[in-house]
Amino acid sequence: MSQVVYITESEPSTSIDISQTQPDWMHPQLIQSTDPTKGRQFRASGLIPKGACLLVDRPYAVIPVVDEPATNDNLICSNPACNRRAPRHSASARNPCPNACIADVIWCSDACRDADKDRHAFECTWLKRYAGPIRAKWGEYDFGMLWVIVRLLAMRQSQLQHVDSGTSTSPSPKKWKYGWEGIDSLCGSADTWSHDKVRAWTTLVKKYLQNGPVLPHGMTSDRVLHLICQEEANSFGLYPRATGVVPLPYPPIDRGEQFAAAVYPIAAIANHSCLPNITHKPDEQGRMVFTASRDIVPGEECCISYFDLTQYTALASRREHLRQSFKFVCQCERCLSEEPADEPTEWNAMPMMDL
């Protein structure tokens, strides 16, 4: 964030320079490299001590978990420069859309609503027309997925407008890809997912996400389908407590209830390990924060856990969960060390995905 205008000490900034979408912090020893099987990955170029903050990455798109907006304590401010959680008991922190699109859309203040006017205009008509029918026919999961896609497209649109109006984008040092460029290079394609899934998503794109007056994104339906394949492989759930704490505390403390889902251009590079050296947790602005949970030596890969380690503990349950949700068979050091010695390994040729 380049221009932080503090109204009072605690007042958040309400405007964001959308062309500036790089992370707010990256550890100088955190580098990107490529592994022949896993694809992109994070590595340490020098010693990163335990407790060091590796990354603070801004979501390119984030939505609240959308089950019951009226009783949900977890709505978040729609302004991308804010993303703060807006509790239900605080009426002043829940400014609804003047166009009454959906109850899940709120801003924490008038200032946030005004600052977010143009970006929200892109999604407002779509939400008003399709949120009800999609929820009724396809359910909350698919609605949330499509809304994330619409928010990705809305942010891209804002970013393009900024570039067109001559705002210079910051050069990307060390070949990090920020903003839409980062979303564009996320792993995942139609080949990643089952034919049934891809067929269902194709139908959803045709019905709800085509370029047109309701959603003027200018992209082909194939590209939007590809974006769903990427989003499904790379989105993060946002939970109140850290994910990937090792060793497991006793008694185990889970990460809590999911309150949002988001796509991060840089954080998505992290691969999974069932014995991760990084914990991840969103901060109060929905930014994803990576913290070293032990000393990380030069050359070592920096990994997160894609799931709550307190939930899947046995080798078989971890592998099954990862295979189903992320389409790879985990070969991390913990999984390999827990494999029964007399059983032949069922190696799977499927490449490991970023997230």
| Residues in touch with Zn ion (CB under 5 A) | 77, 79, 82, 97, 99, 101, 108, 112, 124, 274, 330, 332, 335
- Number of Cβ within a 10 Å radius of residue 202: 16
The two three-digit tokens of residue 263, written as one number: 């796509």
Residue with Cβ nearer Zn ion (116 or 232): 116
Q: Minimal distance in Å, beta carbon 352 to Zn ion?
A: 10
Residue with Cβ nearer Zn ion (159 or 271): 271
Q: Minimal distance in Å, beta carbon 335 to Zn ion?
A: 3
How open is the CA angle 175-237-54, to the nearest 5 degrees? Answer: 40
244 Cβ contact list (under 8 Å, min separation 6): 276, 278, 279, 280, 293, 304, 305, 309
Q: Which residues of 285-320 are buried (b: 16+ CB within 10 A; e: fewer)?
A: bbbbbbbbbeebeeeebbbbbbbbbeebeebeebbe
Residue with Cβ nearer Zn ion (101 or 302): 101
The two three-digit tokens of residue 205, written as one number: 């794109």
SS3 238: strand
Residue with Cβ nearer Zn ion (201 or 208): 208
Q: Minimal distance in Å, beta carbon 245 to Zn ion?
A: 16
Residue with Cβ nearer Zn ion (29 or 279): 279
Residue pair 251/310 in contact by the 8 Å Cβ criterion:
no
Q: Minimal distance in Å, beta carbon 177 to Zn ion?
A: 27
Residue with Cβ nearer Zn ion (41 or 230): 41
Q: Minimal distance in Å, beta carbon 303 to Zn ion?
A: 9
Residue with Cβ nearer Zn ion (262 or 332): 332
Q: Which of 146, 160, 53, 157 lies closest to 104, judged by CA?
A: 146
Q: Minimal distance in Å, beta carbon 230 to Zn ion?
A: 23
Q: Minimal distance in Å, beta carbon 288 to Zn ion?
A: 18
Residue pair 279/244 in contact by the 8 Å Cβ criterion:
yes
In 69-174, which ranges are E strands?
Answer: 95-96, 106-107
